[in-house]
Amino acid sequence: MNLVEKILAKASGKKEVSPGEIVDANIDRAMIHDLTGPLTIEMFKKIGVEKVWDPEKIVMILDHQVPADTVKSAELHFTMRTFAKEQGIRNFYEIGRGGICHQVMPEKGYVLPGEVIVGADSHTCTYGALGAFATGIGSTEMAAVFATGKLWFKVPQTLNFVAKGMLKQPTSAKDLILHIIGQVGVDGATYKAAEFSGPAISKMSIDGRLTMCNMAVEMGAKTGIIEPDAQTIQYVSARSKKFTPLKSDPDAEYEKTFEIDVNKLEPQVACPPSVDNVKPVSEIEGLEINQGFIGSCTNGRLEDLRAASRILKKNKVHPNVRLIVIPASQEIYQEALREGIIEILAKAGAYISNASCGPCLGGHLGVLAPFETCISTSNRNFIGRMGSPKASVYLASPATVAASAVAGKITDPKTMWRS
């Protein structure tokens, strides 16, 4: 069995499972946030069960519409706080104390290798970076998990993406995952699991691995996953209790294996209106931008802010551009302060905000006017995603966004990386 099959077998109390089989899995951890959580709570109450199956296994995080910008979103937060108190859910993250759910979950030790984790958000697949089976579900399904602690899954086929060679900075994990999505398409992995392996993944930081798995859903995958190694074990051990990492058997089967040579991979950009419309940055260099965004559950981590500060240290944000930087969590914010990164970014003219999802989903921060162009480190460039349906969103790495914000137009970060 491969890694995903092993986790699902363990979670459903079976010796063996194979693709296509439907299993009833025990859920190890369940997460809701302020935009999908209130609906979960309403549905849970409708089911008619008094208490959640296990308050210790539920994590609640305010991150999307934060701080509340309207009475309506304040009400959603109120619903979340009240439910947490009623149910004795201690793992509740208030604004200023947590951050983006998909960063808080691994960072605070809620993601353990070998476990099954569900979240009422499509980017829950991020946690596969630590060797967990993690996937996004809807609010009603989450209500069922709250009531029963279980959920059915069809055991997926697994695609194996083997990244050979070594990424050469400033090319990063984001460029690699954009490249892969460009190759297989936005529905290239629908219903399937995407496993990432190979030397480039082994050498990749946990930050980079989280970025890779975060975007697995953008090719339709049920989850992205990376086999846990010494680096994973070190990261998780520092944050959590004991755990049993699982690994694929030597004769594990995959539906298909893709080999990617990353040695010559250039920085990539996903052009509107689709995440698989991926081109090397050189092909669209020179396109003028109005806004840059460095943040989101894809690229708001420390490594990302470091990359941006490396470019912005001796440069200023172009007068025609606004650059929004949002650390993915309060912990990252504090570390970036200690390292002097925040000061560098602020001096360069970036707008820096508290840890939140920010403009990524067109909620209440940094939305775009018609005919504006944004280059963003987030995960979706759908029409209307970040504000006006007439605006354009390009997806790229933090280095590419920072370099583009300096130049006022889409720019290969190589030109500024060594300056």
Partner 1 sequence: MIITGNAVKVGDHINTDLILPGKYLVFIEPEELAKHALEGLDPKFPEKAKGGVILIAGKNFGCGSSREQAPIALKHANVKCIVADSFARIFYRNAINIGLPVVECKEIADKVNEGDQLAVDLAGGVIKDLTLNQSWQVKPVPKFLLEILTAGGLVEYLKKRIKSK
* Binding residue for partner 1, selected from 10, 29, 57, 64, defined by CB under 8 A: 64
State the nearest-atom distance from the C-beta of 62 to partner 1, in Å.
Answer: 13
Of 136 and 228, nearer to partner 1 (C-beta) is 136
* Binding of partner 1 by 252 (CB under 8 A): no
Binding piece for partner 1, criterion CB under 8 A, among 10-18, 203-211, 231-239, 357-365: 357-365
3-state secondary structure the chain: CCHHHHHHHHHCCCCCCCCCCEEEEECCEEEEECCCHHHHHHHHHHHCCCCCCCHHHEEEECCCCCCCCCHHHHHHHHHHHHHHHHHCCCCEECCCCCECHHHHHHHCCCCCCCCEEEECCHHHHHHHHHCCEEEECCHHHHHHHHHHCEEEEECCCEEEEEEECCCCCCCCHHHHHHHHHHHHCCCCCCCCEEEEECHHHHCCCHHHHHHHHHHHHHHCCCEEECCCCHHHHHHHHCCCCCCCCCCCCCCCCCCEEEEEECCCCCCEEECCCCCCCEEEHHHHCCCECCEEEECHHHHCCHHHHHHHHHHHCCCCCCCCCEEEECCCEHHHHHHHHHCCHHHHHHHCCCEECCCCCHHHHCCCCCCECCCCEEEECCCCCCCCCCECCCCEEEECCHHHHHHHHHHCECCCCHHHHCC
Of 175 and 276, nearer to partner 1 (C-beta) is 276
Binding piece for partner 1, criterion CB under 8 A, among 9-17, 42-50, 174-182, 247-255: 42-50
In Å, what is the CA distance from 293 to each residue of 261, 274, 302, 351, 403? 29, 18, 15, 10, 12
Binding piece for partner 1, criterion CB under 8 A, among 309-317, 327-335, 337-345, 376-384: 376-384
* Binding of partner 1 by 47 (CB under 8 A): yes
* Binding residue for partner 1, selected from 15, 16, 20, 48, defined by CB under 8 A: 48
Binding piece for partner 1, criterion CB under 8 A, among 121-129, 193-201, 308-316, 318-326: 121-129
* Binding of partner 1 by 320 (CB under 8 A): no
* Binding residue for partner 1, selected from 12, 91, 103, 122, defined by CB under 8 A: 122
Tokens 């912005």 map to which residue? 312
> Contacts with partner 1 in 70-109 (CB under 8 A)?
70, 72-73, 76
Of 162 and 383, nearer to partner 1 (C-beta) is 383
Structure tokens that stand for 188 in this block: 């290239």
Q: Are 49 and 77 in contact (CB under 8 A)?
A: no
Binding piece for partner 1, criterion CB under 8 A, among 53-61, 134-142, 202-210, 337-345: 134-142
Encode 58-81: b = buried (16+ Cβ within 10 Å), e = exposed.
bbbbbbbbbebeeeebeebbebbe
Parallel, antiparallel, or unpaired for β 58-61 and 29-33? parallel
Of 267 and 358, nearer to partner 1 (C-beta) is 358
* Binding residue for partner 1, selected from 21, 49, 266, 279, defined by CB under 8 A: 49
State the nearest-atom distance from the C-beta of 311 to partner 1, in Å.
Answer: 29
* Binding of partner 1 by 42 (CB under 8 A): yes
* Binding residue for partner 1, selected from 2, 12, 36, 268, defined by CB under 8 A: 36
* Binding of partner 1 by 46 (CB under 8 A): yes
* Binding of partner 1 by 384 (CB under 8 A): yes
Q: How many residues bind partner 1 (CB under 8 A)?
A: 47
* Binding of partner 1 by 401 (CB under 8 A): no
State the nearest-atom distance from the C-beta of 72 to partner 1, in Å.
Answer: 4
In Å, what is the CA distance from 39 to each residue of 58, 64, 70, 87? 15, 14, 18, 16
* Binding of partner 1 by 136 (CB under 8 A): yes
Of 122 and 411, nearer to partner 1 (C-beta) is 122
* Binding of partner 1 by 63 (CB under 8 A): no
Structure tokens that stand for 286 in this block: 């020179």
State the nearest-atom distance from the C-beta of 308 to partner 1, in Å.
Answer: 25
Structure tokens that stand for 332 in this block: 């990252």
State the nearest-atom distance from the C-beta of 391 to partner 1, in Å.
Answer: 12
* Binding of partner 1 by 372 (CB under 8 A): no
* Binding of partner 1 by 148 (CB under 8 A): yes
* Binding of partner 1 by 382 (CB under 8 A): yes
Query: Binding residues for partner 1, per CB under 8 A?
Result: 35-36, 38-39, 42-43, 46-49, 64-65, 70, 72-73, 76, 119-122, 124, 136-141, 143-144, 147-148, 186-187, 190-191, 220, 222, 274, 361-363, 380, 382-385, 389
